[in-house]
Structures are given as structure tokens and as C-alpha cells.
Amino acid sequence: MPKVACILPDASLAKQAQSVFKDHHNDIRIRTGLLKEAVEISKQLASDGYEVIISRGMTAAMIEEAQPELSVVRVPFTVLDILQTIERAKFHGKRIGVVAFTPMIMNLDQFDSILGATIRFFPLENEYEVERKVLAATKDDADIIVGGAITGRAAQKYGVPFAIIENSPESLQQAAREAKNIAQARKQEKAKGNLFRAVLDYASDGVISVNADGIITVFNPVAENFTQVAAADALGKHIQQLWPELKLEKTLRSCRQVLGQLHNLNNEKVVCNKLPICVNDLVVGAVINFQKVTELQQVEAKVRRRLFATGHIAKHRFEEIIGTSSQLQKSVSLAKDFAITDSAILIQGETGTGKEIFAQSIHNGSRRRHGPFVALNCAALPAQILESELFGYVGGAFSGASQKGKAGLFEIAHGGTLFLDEIAEMEYVTQGKLLRALQEKQVMRLGSDSLTPVDVRIIAATNNPLKSLVSENKFRADLFYRLNVLQLRLYPLREKRDDIIPLASFFLQKHTTGMKRSPEFTSKALNELKRYSWPGNVRELQNVIERVLATLKCSKIDIDMIQQHLEPPQENEIISQLLNNEVEEIRQALLLTKGNHTEAAKILGISRSTLWRKLKKTGL
């Protein structure tokens, strides 16, 4: 409970208050002091934490004027208080002089006939008139002087009988109750004020409040940080002095709020809301809250990640890539260089060469590592479903669509990486929509007419030569160049045979972890693994190791076990492999010569007509 004190101008009044307060208000501190002396006492009490002061008459008025931060409760004077005092004074004589401040004796002149005494009133306008009025009452043959404590001091000085006007016990009790109610209200207001201040101090937004004239009344720490102006220097100044571009006059002239405006503040872009404070349609002030655009973007990215976080995490890193061949080291080194950029990457390689592992490693090596990694196989879905997966849809956009709608992978990947595997299998029409999303950096859900900004890095992968597909009008040239900013080639396992044994050992250890046995390869078995062409690349190698372990009965893995689980090379497969090699050579020659058949034939060491026949035979 806030502290309450009572300052009364006379010792007898203080004693009376002590008697009245002893039962129910003994926690009220009672002091004696008159006028300026009381003011000094009130200052001491305020420094000790007292917030409410009970006093009376001119003493109360002086405390109130000198200490505006205190709540002063005046003990009320009633007609009955004064009449009772006059009645006591009659024992000294029938001629009574009342010397008191005007508010105390107003409208009492008609009571002298009722009281059976001659009562003369000498009203006071200020404390300096007291002695003169007391002497005037004495000259008027007053038998006794009645008044307040200051009158009593003057009467004592001149040896004149005196009776002080006492307050009734009921008036003192009423003042005590009122003082405690005020103290409780102040406590609640202080709690609200502290809460309000805490909200302002720890708000993430800058908050400035002004009055109807545009004078700053509130300036929180974030506003200090934004403006580089201390709150003490800002308070009391006009808002235009600190932020001329804000143009708050329109808000102060109307009761209309302005939301989401972009402004410059100390060379920073901020989003600003202007909110008028209106009472009975009259503007009494305004609140401005603002936040950096960059911070809003970061918050938006976090919200999107939390809303759409469903395991879109890249698990692999460069350190996990197994192999020692120069080709692999070249690919890893190039991929690490690509990771620190934010450009689109096109990964080319046969099935099973680890395109997604490289994509995840690039993501984890980039500045987007804390964002989502979202992967989509473009060959796995029909065109319409693929489009809805990429861009999302609103409720009821098409038959079978969820009524709640769905976010597309672009939105889910915001702030991170979108990996598009088998990009060559994407329909031509969908390619155009993908291109637009990459160019505009915003997407529109199916069935919607609103655009959503997205910040996504694209990594695309294919096992087909996209350049050849472009020349065949099967893949959009503009999308190819948009994706092919950085190009990463992953070599097939038959071209980096030095990696076969390390990979086989890794898969063996991985799939025997927790088993009681620790099988090993014989040297002939390892040679057989190196000899095989591995058309399925690393994925096929892993499958073979799993097959061997599933049927292994001893601790050694020999050549027979390996051969048992390898695919026997059929004649047509050999021919197909040779044909594929020849097709690849022709494609590379055409790429080098930019489609010039004559120059390509020279590189291949064949005639132009032979080249033409091969192109027709292979369907290039």
C-alpha cells in the first residue's frame, strides 16, 4: 500500500487526529507543521516514499502548490465544526472575533443570532494579514479570537484568548478514507504506467507519441536507436524537427489512420503506421510506430519457415562425399565455390551420380544454410499437379483441391533452396511459368490473383544434355540460360574408378554397423568391383553391397559373390553403351561448334554425310 501522511498545523489538531486514526488508520504518519514549515516536511515525506498528504486550510493549499507530484487531501471544514468552536468560545465572553481565511467562514454571518453571541468576522486573504486582523478584532472588543492555527500564533503573540477551529472526527475519518483510496488508485496507475513503459522499452518497433500540436510526449529506446537522438533531447520537440519527411499534419487534422507507409529514416527504409488518438471525434494526439524493412523481411522468413517446416532440411555436407579421384575432387572444389554465391546452378550427371547429395551440400555451404531445402522430382508428377506443387493453390482452385488451399514449394523454400531434379522432364508450358517466377521473384497461386514475393535459390539437375534439348525445341532456351548460370558436371563411376573401392568400403561398414561380424573384401573381389562399368553408378554399387550382405554366410566377400550380384553385360547393352558413348561424343562436338555440322564432322574425324546419317539414326 502506498504511504499516506497527515500534516496538521497545530499540535492539538495532530493529537486529535492521532486519537481518531488509532483504531482504523494507525498506519498514517502524523506530523505537525504550518504553511512553509509544512511544505518542507512534505518534501521530506515525499523523499521517503509518501505519495498522499492529508492537511487542511491554507497549509494544504501551499503543499499542493509546492509539491504537484503529491496528492493532497484536504480535511473538510463544515459549518458544524465552526459553530461548535464558537459555542466553546462563548465561555470566554459573548463578543467573538472570527479571524480565518475566507473559504472557512463564508456564509456564517447569519448564525450569530442563533448562537446568542455577537460574532464579528475578519476574513483573511493571505497569511500576512493575520496580525493586523487579530489586532482589529481586539480593538473591536472581542473577548476571544476564533480561527485556524496561524491565527492562534498571532493571538498568542498578543496575549489574546484563542480557540482553534477543530475538524470533527467524521471529517478526519472521511479524509483518511479518501487519502487511502487515492493512494490505492495511484498504486494501480503506477503499475499500469510501469507496464506501459516496459511495453514501450522492450517493443521491437520504434514508438513515438505526440500531442495535438505535434510535440513529442513518448520516445522509446528503439526510436532512440533509429534516430540516434536521446529521448531526453527528443521529448518536448516538434516531430518535424526530428523527422521532416514524416508529414504527420494530415493525421493530426483527421481521425484517419495511415498504415504501412514506406519512409526513409537515417538512410534506412522503414515501414511506418500513423495512428491518431481521438476523443469525441477530436484529435488529441497521435502514435507513430515503425520498423526496418529488413527486420520485417527477416521476421517474414522465420514465420514462413515455421509455418511450412515439415522436414525440408538438407542432411548432406561436402565432408560426407566419399572418394579420392581427381574428377571427384574437381567437382567438389567447384561446388564449394558455387556454394558461396547466390546464383542458379545446373548439375548435370547420369542417374546415381549423387546430384541431390551435391545440391544439399551446396545448400549447407551457403548463406542459406539456415533456410529450408526443398526438393522436387519434376519427372514424378503430371504437369497440372507439378504446377500446383510449385506455385500452390487457393481453396477450391480445381477439382479435388483442398478447401484450405496449399502453399507451393516456392513459398515453402522462401529464404532457402529449391532443388528441381529431372528438370528436363518438365512440360514446356510449365517451363514458361517457372521462368516467370524466376524472373519476377514472385509467385501466384493457382486460382488467385495476388502475387507473393519469394527469395529462393534454384539448383536444377538433369541426366540429359539440356543444350541439345534446346536445339530440338524440347526445352526453353530462355529457361536454360536462366538455370545454367553456374554449371556443375558429376562424372559417372566408370570415369573415376579410384572412387569405387572407398565407396564399397564405406557402404560395407555402413550396412554392417551393429552386426556381430565384420566381413572384408578379397583382393579379387575388389578388382572385380573396379572392372565393372556401373551403369547405375553409386546407387548401383550400394545396391550390390546390400545384396552381397543379405546372402553372406562367411567373413570374406570373394569374387564369386560379387559376380553373382552384378548384372551380366548383354550384347545389346554393350551395343547400347557404345551407342551412348558415340551419341555423347556427337553432342559434345555439336556443342563445341555451336551446331555447325561441318566443323563437328572434322572434330569427330568423319565426313559430313556420315555425321548426318548418325544424327538421323540416333534421333539427335
β partners of residue 273:
289
Report residue 277 as a C-alpha cell: 488518438
Lowest average pLDDT, out of 49-58, 294-303, 353-362, 567-576, goes to 567-576
User: Taking residues 463-471, what's their average pLDDT?
Assistant: 88
Whether the CB-CB separation of 505 and 366 falls below 8 Å is answered with no
Is residue 218 located within the same domain as residue 254?
yes
Is residue 10 located within the same domain as residue 55?
yes
**Which residue did the predictor score with more confidence, 300 or 571?**
300
Determine the distance from the C-alpha atom of residue 230 to the mean position of all C-alpha atoms in its chain, rounded to a whole number.
Answer: 23
Task: Indicate if the pLDDT at residue 609 is higher than 90.
Answer: no
In-domain check, residue 222? yes
Task: Indicate if the pLDDT at residue 310 is higher than 60.
Answer: no
Is residue 428 located within the same domain as residue 500?
no
Is residue 610 located within the same domain as residue 533?
no
Q: pLDDT digit string (tens) for 202-252?
A: 787 889 899 988 899 888 998 888 888 898 888 998 888 888 888 888 788
CA distance to 3, 9, 89, 174, per residue, from 84 (Å): 32, 19, 9, 19
Q: What are the DSSP calls for 238-256, one per residue?
A: BHHHH-GGG--HHHHHSS-
Please state the pTM of the whole predicted model.
0.52
In-domain check, residue 447? yes
Is residue 440 located within the same domain as residue 563?
no
CATH code where residue 347 lies? 3.40.50.300
From 489, 521, 552, give the residue that closes a domain: 489
Task: Indicate if the pLDDT at residue 307 is higher than 60.
Answer: no
In-domain check, residue 194? no
Is residue 131 located within the same domain as residue 30?
no
According to DSSP H, which parts of 309-394 are helical? Answer: 326-339, 355-364, 383-391
Q: How far apart are CA 380 and CA 130, in angstroms?
A: 104
Amino acid at 52: V
Is residue 442 located within the same domain as residue 376?
yes
In-domain check, residue 306? no
Is residue 459 located within the same domain as residue 597?
no
Is residue 332 located within the same domain as residue 463?
yes
Burial 556-588 (b: 16+ CB within 10 A, else e): ebbbebbeeebeeeeeeeeeeeeeeeebeebbb
Q: How far apart are CA 537 and CA 528, in angstroms?
A: 15
User: Taking residues 475-485, what's their average pLDDT?
Assistant: 93
Q: pLDDT digit string (tens) for 14-44?
A: 999 999 999 889 999 999 998 899 999 999 9
Q: Which residues span the domain enclosing 606?
A: 573-618
- Quote the strand ranges of 359-416, DSSP E: 373-377, 392-393, 406-407
Is residue 257 located within the same domain as residue 223?
yes
Q: pLDDT digit string (tens) for 493-525?
A: 998 999 999 999 999 988 887 777 788 999 999
Q: pLDDT digit string (tens) for 419-456?
A: 999 999 999 999 999 999 999 999 988 888 888 888 99
Is residue 476 located within the same domain as residue 411?
yes
Is residue 363 located within the same domain as residue 428?
yes
Report the sign of the C-alpha dihedral through residues 94, 97, 102, 103, in that order. negative
pLDDT value at residue 278: 86
CA dihedral of residues 174, 175, 181, 184 (deg, nearest 10): -150
In-domain check, residue 368? yes
From 489, 508, 537, give the residue that closes a domain: 489
Report the sign of the C-alpha dihedral through residues 265, 268, 273, 277, in that order. negative
Counting the structural domains of the chain, the total is 6
Task: Indicate if the pLDDT at residue 314 is higher than 80.
Answer: yes
